[in-house]
Amino acid sequence: MVDLRHHGDVEARGMLDLAVNVYDGPRPPWLDAALRSSLGEVGAYPDPSAARAAVAAHHGRAEEEVLVTAGAAEAFTLVARLRPWRRPVVVHPQFTEPHAALEQAGHEVTAVLLPEPFTLDPALVPDDADLVVVGNPTNPTGVLHPAVTLGALRRPGRLVVVDEAFMDCVPGEPESLAGVPLEGVVVLRSLTKHWGIPGIRAGYVVGDPDAVAGMALAQTPWSVGTTAAAAVVACTSHEAAREATRRAEQIRDWREHLEKGLADLGVHHRPATASFVLAQVGGGVHAALRERRIAVRRADTFPGLDGTWIRIAVRPPDTTDELLRALRAMP
Ligand SMILES: Cc1ncc(COP(=O)(O)O)c(C=O)c1O
């Protein structure tokens, strides 16, 4: 079995980082101000109620449909603890942490492997699945599944978990279910990627109020710190919405530069929608790039992929060009 707990951050240390899919630009001054000002309140235990209300207002949902979490990663653990799942299914290739969290909680996970082009076919999910976890847009394939296809995964007694950690990269978020109340569906969101704050640990769950209430019971008390709660309030404000759109459009432009460069080199890659591109460069290229101090994310730890694939983070054109030059120089 592959190492499901391998992530890009360990690959990037000391290297030119095209492995970690975090927005490559400065933090907005209003976010820094909110983070700094939150330090004035860290003498008290954290209270995430303002953050919860802000998320509810942002997505047009009721507060009982929202749970603020310590990043999307915490939410995977809460899902794993929520019920004694009989047949939990994780749709791969996707971020492996939900699979790892379910196994860690003692569940036996059924992996549904989507073949290339990695589009979701609800018929591939076993009928008796009582939990289905799917990413949208999916890391690492870049596929944005239609909201109606995700809705078609619903069954009586089944919980569908849609990981939208990268949805804010998609201008207008057309296929997001965060604003759509659907019984049996919860959506996970992360502030990590778009706002460049992996060290703060801020995210949230929005969805079916029964599932949200169950996840709240499973949560460690005070797990969302004061600073993370302040980040959630700041990043769901009107001011943030404008900057969120600007970033999404910039990521799209940077990604087009990368995709064009790969096409010019004749490198097979999947059409992408988020802040990374899945490319099939052939075996050995990941290691050869590391020798040149360039880190891209290895893809062989994603069930359904192998060592011929790499995942490339979207970066400003200058950085992308360094990678493209190195790829061009490969034998
Ligand atoms: C698809 C996906 N979901 C969730 C996460 C976890 O995000 P967070 O930093 O909010 O815990 C990641 C982090 O890499 C991710 O790639």
Tens of pLDDT, residue by residue over 16-48, are 999 999 999 999 999 999 999 999 999 999 999
Measured in angstroms, how far is the CA atom of residue 190 from the centroid of ligand 1?
Answer: 7
Rounded distance, CA 31 to CA 269, Å? 35
Query: In this model, does residue 1 exceed pLDDT 80?
Result: no
pLDDT category at 6 given cuts 50, 70, 90 is confident
Measured in angstroms, how far is the CA atom of residue 245 from the centroid of ligand 1?
Answer: 20
User: At a CB cut-off of 8 Å and minimum separation 6, what does 287 contact?
Assistant: none
Residue 73 near ligand 1, beta carbon < 6 Å: yes
Q: What pLDDT is stored for residue 273 in this prediction?
A: 97
Atom of ligand 1 nearest to the CA of 203: 10
CB atoms < 10 A from the CB of 218, how many?
16
CB atoms < 10 A from the CB of 246, how many?
13
Q: What's the pLDDT tens digit per position in 253-271?
A: 999 999 999 999 999 999 9
Residue of 190, 194, 204, 232 with the most ligand 1 atoms within 8 Å of its CB, for mutation: 190
| Residue-range domain boundaries for the chain | 9-25+240-329, 29-237
In whole angstroms, how far apart are CA 82 and each of 86, 123, 212, 214, 298? 12, 25, 9, 6, 31
Q: What's the pLDDT tens digit per position in 52-104?
A: 999 999 999 999 999 999 999 999 999 999 999 999 999 999 999 999 999 99
Measured in angstroms, how far is the CA atom of residue 197 from the centroid of ligand 1?
Answer: 11
Q: What pLDDT is stored for residue 5 in this prediction?
A: 87
Pick from 150, 249, 153, 136: nearest CA to 189: 136
Mean pLDDT of 217-223: 97
Measured in angstroms, how far is the CA atom of residue 53 from the centroid of ligand 1?
Answer: 23
pLDDT category at 196 given cuts 50, 70, 90 is very high
Atom of ligand 1 nearest to the CA of 163: 3
May I ask the CATH class of domain 29-237?
alpha beta
Residue 195 near ligand 1, beta carbon < 6 Å: no
Rounded mean pLDDT of the chain? 97
Residue 203 near ligand 1, beta carbon < 6 Å: yes
Measured in angstroms, how far is the CA atom of residue 161 from the centroid of ligand 1?
Answer: 14
Measured in angstroms, how far is the CA atom of residue 202 from the centroid of ligand 1?
Answer: 10
Q: What pLDDT is stored for residue 301 in this prediction?
A: 95
Q: What pLDDT is stored for residue 54 in this prediction?
A: 98
Query: In this model, does residue 298 exceed pLDDT 90?
Result: yes
The encoded tokens of residue 50 equal 């303002």
Q: What pLDDT is stored for residue 3 in this prediction?
A: 87
Query: In this model, does residue 11 exceed pLDDT 90?
Result: no
Percentage above 90 pLDDT, the chain = 95
Query: In this model, does residue 193 exceed pLDDT 90?
Result: yes
Residue 95 near ligand 1, beta carbon < 6 Å: yes
Query: In this model, does residue 331 exceed pLDDT 80?
Result: no
Q: What's the pLDDT tens digit per position in 138-192?
A: 999 999 999 999 999 999 999 999 999 999 999 999 999 999 999 999 999 999 9
pLDDT category at 8 given cuts 50, 70, 90 is confident
Atom of ligand 1 nearest to the CA of 7: 14
Query: In this model, does residue 12 exceed pLDDT 90?
Result: no
Query: In this model, does residue 326 exceed pLDDT 90?
Result: yes
Architecture of the domain delimited by 9-25+240-329: Alpha-Beta Complex (3.90)
Q: What pLDDT is stored for residue 118 in this prediction?
A: 98
Between 11 and 79, where is the model more confident? 79
Between 258 and 6, where is the model more confident? 258
Residue 261 near ligand 1, beta carbon < 6 Å: no
Atom of ligand 1 nearest to the CA of 73: 11
Query: In this model, does residue 216 exceed pLDDT 80?
Result: yes
**3-state DSSP of 301-323:** CCCCCCCCEEEEECCCHHHHHHH
Measured in angstroms, how far is the CA atom of residue 63 from the centroid of ligand 1?
Answer: 23
